[in-house]
Structure 1
Amino acid sequence: MMLRPTALVGLLVVLCLPAPSLSAERPARIVVDPGHGGAVGGAQSPTGLLEKDVSLQVARRVRTLLEKELGAQVLMTRDEDIALPLPERVEFANEQRPDLFLSIHCNAMPTKRTRARVQGIETYFLSANASNATARAAADRENAEAPVAKGGHGDSTLAFILQDLARTEAHQDSSRLAYAIHQKLIASTGGSDRGVLQAPFYVLNGVEAPAVLIEVGYISHPEEGGRLGRADYQERLATAITEGVKGFLTEIRKRDAPKGPKVAAPATP
């Protein structure tokens, strides 16, 4: 595929822009995205608990802990029960120029048999291809609110290539962030470890920062769905997410710290 000169210039400009440096001198800026809201309730527990409510409650606890423990500047895509289209969530996040993006959701199974059996925690980062059928199903469910793509196939392919090239480092850091959070969640909650997975989530595609989507549990499971509604369990989830973010930021700040000039060894007389 040949790129026009103007497209090539645009690509070079994007690639040559300096990546934002997360120094130890300034607080991290983090966007927290509680899934769904308003008329879109998301998944539901056997007792009628809605994903939109759990995700908002956990997100608020995450915000409080990130501010308290890390001194972070935390902005939420929504802080009340309102509907917010997926494109607006991405647009809001990018306007804040965040260091991290965390989208919080609850998972669900479609049939009576699987709802009674499947539980556990999954943490996702973006990929064009889903890790497995479970990841594909999760992405399809969360993407149900996404607008239908417009434009020709060629335009979409070019846009994806440009975005992918410009966000390579953010994508790699998304993987690191996902593993850092997931390990803390499993250790803290004792929940079933369903792994760190990849899937084409709309809300992650376009965020210009390390971004993850956290399925904090299967709200459709009789026991796990009940736990997700408890304040003490939500606090445990929020604490684990905060600890994961803290570990990730420590690693990234160490990696990106300016390297001092090498001091030459004294000359031997």
Structure 2
Amino acid sequence: MTFRFLALSSVLVLLCPAASSLAAERPPRIVVDPGHGGDQGGATSPTGLLEKEVSLQIARRVREHLEKDLAAQVLMTRDEDQSLPLPERVSFANKQRPDLFLSIHCNAMPTKRTRARVQGIETYFLSASASNDTARAAADRENAEAPTAREARGDSTLAFILQDLARTEAHQDSSRLAYAVHQKLIAATGGSNRGVLQAPFYVLNGVEAPAILIEVGYISHPEEGGRLGRAEYQEQLATAISEGVRAFLAEVRRRDAPKSPAVAAPATP
């Protein structure tokens, strides 16, 4: 049994892109996922602006910056207003064997009082349990489009274990990526810092690469919802996301760079 476990783990290392692949001399491959689309509009601003529209507009700007600033190969889960189930987003991402996965969303509050009060930026990476009630609510809202049964993804116990093994290193780097991007977003926009959080987002569960979900702001807030629809603010957000990715890639390349062998001191006669 031990031998079989080790053999499977070895195969996973070969098949699944680990963060160390970022050190390779090639442009990074990044999947950008604009949330919602088609008949799934997502959250709505007080003036009727839809999350699906804002997330796509920002995602296109992120793609432009990543391609220009990092010479990255960027693939979009959707590049138009189309319905795309969450399992298909995960499947598409893994087929690309990306170095990174970025899912872009807008947040919202449910009541008139909280919509008027709550604004700010949150960046998430995957966890089986949510960091707090806010994180749990965000995951519940974004997961509303997900299949309700585990069988909908065709998971078996073995498949789940193998996926978990494959994602271990990617999950560790997801945290680093989330902090790198979040810090740049707050510095660039001056937005309210609602933190780096963890939650069980369906779209992050199963991605075999460092993966984060960015709630770029509360579209339900009267002022922030308006800003999210403006081109200049979207450009600020996209630039900051690209700079965060750049900082993360630089950190990983330094970490994974071959270390020079230590030179032994000459023997004393």
Q: Give TM-score scaled by structure 2 length.
A: 0.92
Q: Deviations over 1:1-37 (max 9, x none)?
A: xx8997x477434455374622252110000000000
CA contact (8 A) 1:123 1:213 kept: yes
Partner of 1:135: 135
Partner of 2:234: 234
Shift of 1:211: 0.1
Shift of 1:89: 0.4
Is 1:81 matched up with 2:78? no
CA contact (8 A) 1:184 1:244 kept: yes
Q: Give TM-score scaled by structure 1 length.
A: 0.92
Is 1:90 matched up with 2:90? yes
Cα distance in 1 for partners of 2:156, 2:198 equals 20
Cα distance in 2 for partners of 1:180, 1:166 equals 23
Q: Which amino acid aligns with 2:215?
A: E
Q: Which amino acid aligns with 2:94?
A: N
Partner of 2:219: 219
Shift of 1:267: 4.5
SS of the residue 1:203 aligns to: helix
Cα distance in 1 for partners of 2:178, 2:205 equals 15
CA contact (8 A) 2:37 2:84 kept: yes
Partner of 2:14: 17
Q: Deviations over 1:204-240 (max 9, x none)?
A: 0000000000000000000000000000000000011
Partner of 2:177: 177
Cα distance in 2 for partners of 1:235, 1:265 equals 54
Q: Deviations over 1:229-258 (max 9, x none)?
A: 000000000011011000000000111112
Matches within 5 A, 1:92-131: 92-131=92-131
Cα distance in 2 for partners of 1:12, 1:90 equals 21
Q: Which amino acid aligns with 1:17?
A: L
Cα distance in 1 for partners of 2:236, 2:169 equals 30
Matches within 5 A, 1:150-229: 150-151=150-151, 159-229=159-229
Cα distance in 2 for partners of 1:14, 1:204 equals 22
Higher helix share: 2
Is 1:261 matched up with 2:258? no
CA contact (8 A) 2:125 2:178 kept: yes
CA contact (8 A) 2:23 2:252 kept: no
Task: Call closer, same or farther: CA 1:158–1:70 in 2, change over 3 Å.
Answer: same
Cα distance in 1 for partners of 2:150, 2:180 equals 36
Q: Deviations over 1:170-225 (max 9, x none)?
A: 10100000000001101110111000000000000000000000000000000000
Cα distance in 1 for partners of 2:2, 2:259 equals 39
Shift of 1:161: 3.7
Cα distance in 1 for partners of 2:13, 2:68 equals 35
CA contact (8 A) 2:13 2:166 kept: no
CA contact (8 A) 1:14 1:166 kept: no
Cα distance in 1 for partners of 2:220, 2:76 equals 25
Partner of 1:144: 144
CA contact (8 A) 1:204 1:213 kept: yes
Partner of 2:29: 29
Aligned CA RMSD, in angstroms, stands at 2.1
Task: Call closer, same or farther: CA 1:116–1:164 in 2, change over 3 Å.
Answer: same
Shift of 1:165: 2.6
* Farther-moved stretch of structure 1 (64-73 vs 251-260): 251-260
Identity of aligned residues (%): 83
Cα distance in 1 for partners of 2:115, 2:144 equals 20
Cα distance in 2 for partners of 1:115, 1:11 equals 49
Q: Which amino acid aligns with 1:172?
A: Q
Q: Deviations over 1:113-161 (max 9, x none)?
A: 110000000000000000011101100100011112244xxx7665444
CA contact (8 A) 2:30 2:101 kept: yes
Consecutive unaligned residues in structure 1, runs of 5 or more: none
